Amino acid sequence: MASLQDLRRRVRAVKNMRQITKAMKMVSAARLRRATERVTASRPYTTKMMQILGDAARRAPDYNDPLLTGHDRGEEVRKERVILALITADKGLCGGFNTNLVKAAQDFIRQNTDKDVELVLIGRKGLDYFRRRPVKIRRDHTGITGTGKVSAADAIRVGQALVADYKSEENPVDRVYLLYSEFKSALSQKPVVEQLLPVGRIETAESAQPETLIDYIYEQPPGEIFSELLPKLIENQIYHALLESVASELGARMTAMDSASKNASEVIDKLTLVMNRVRQARITREIIEVVSGAEAL
C-alpha cells in the first residue's frame, strides 16, 4: 500500500489537474457561445446564394461550366481523381472529435479504392495522423482553427487552391469532397461529407414550388454570373464548414473537460478515503505499540 505522503502527493496532483480541466471547460463554454452565433449568422447567406445560383441555373439549362457540371472527359480512360479536404482541430483534449473525423476519412478512402484519392488536410491533428500512413497528401493547412476564430481570408485561400486543383490543365481533378464536423449541440457533433466540386445543378431552386420562385432580373449573362459567384460559393461553403468545425471542437472540448473534472473529483474522493484508512491504520498501530510497551514494563 502507498505511504501517506505518496497519497497526499497524488491528491494534490489530481486537484491541480481538476483546476486545469475546470478552467478549460469555462474557456470553451465562453468561446462556444460566440462560435454558435457565427454559425447561425452564416447560414442565411449560404442559403440565399444557393437560391440565386439555382435560379440562374434554371434560366440557363444549356450553360456548361466545369465548376457546375464537371469535366468533359470524352473518351479518356483513367482512374477518377478525387480530393478529400479534411477539417480537423489543431489541438487535442476534445474527446473523440478528431478520432471520429479521421475514422470518417478512412471510411471514405476504403469506399473509393477504385479512385485515386488525395487528401488536403486542414488542421494539425489530421496531418499528424495521415502523414504516417500510406496515403497521398496533396497539401496541408495548419493554424486556421487553433485560436478558436476563423478568418474569411483563410477560407478564401483554401477555396482558391481547391478550385485551382480542380481546373488544372496538366493534372485535373474530377471531384472535390469536404469532410467536416457538423455542429448539432455541445453533446452532439456529426462528421459530414459533402461534394464541393463540381457543384452540380443547384437543387434548392429546382426542387422549390413554382409559386415560391422569385423572378430576378439579371443584367449579366449566365456565364459572367457563374464565373464570379461559383468560386465565391466554394469559398463560402469552406468558411461555413470551418465555423461548424470550430463550434463542434469547442463543444466537444467543453464536454470532455466537464467529464474529466467529474472523474478527477471521483479520484480525489477515493484517494482521500484510502488516505484516511492509511492514517487510521498508522494511528492504531502506534497505539498498539505504546500499549504493548507499557505492558512489557
Catalytic positions are: 94
SS3 257: helix
Q: Quick one: which of 254, 97, 95 has its CA closest to 186?
A: 254
CA distances from 286 to 4, 274, 279, 281 (A): 15, 18, 11, 9
Q: How far is CA 241 from the centre of its chain?
A: 8
Q: Are 138 and 121 in contact (CB under 8 A)?
A: no
Q: Are 180 and 102 in contact (CB under 8 A)?
A: no
**From CA 154, how far away is CA 30, in angstroms rounded?**
23
Q: What are phi and psi of 81, to 5 degrees?
A: -95, 130
Block residue for cell numbers 475546470 = 22
Burial class (CB in 10 A: 0-12, 13-18, 19+), 130: buried
**From CA 82, how far away is CA 135, in angstroms rounded?**
13
C-alpha cell at 114: 477504385
Q: Quick one: which of 252, 268, 197 has its CA closest to 16?
A: 268
81: β partners: 116
Q: Quick one: which of 2, 3, 24 has its CA closest to 258?
A: 24
SS3 71: coil
Block residue for cell numbers 469535366 = 71
Q: Quick one: which of 86, 110, 129 has its CA closest to 242?
A: 86
C-alpha cell at 14: 489530481
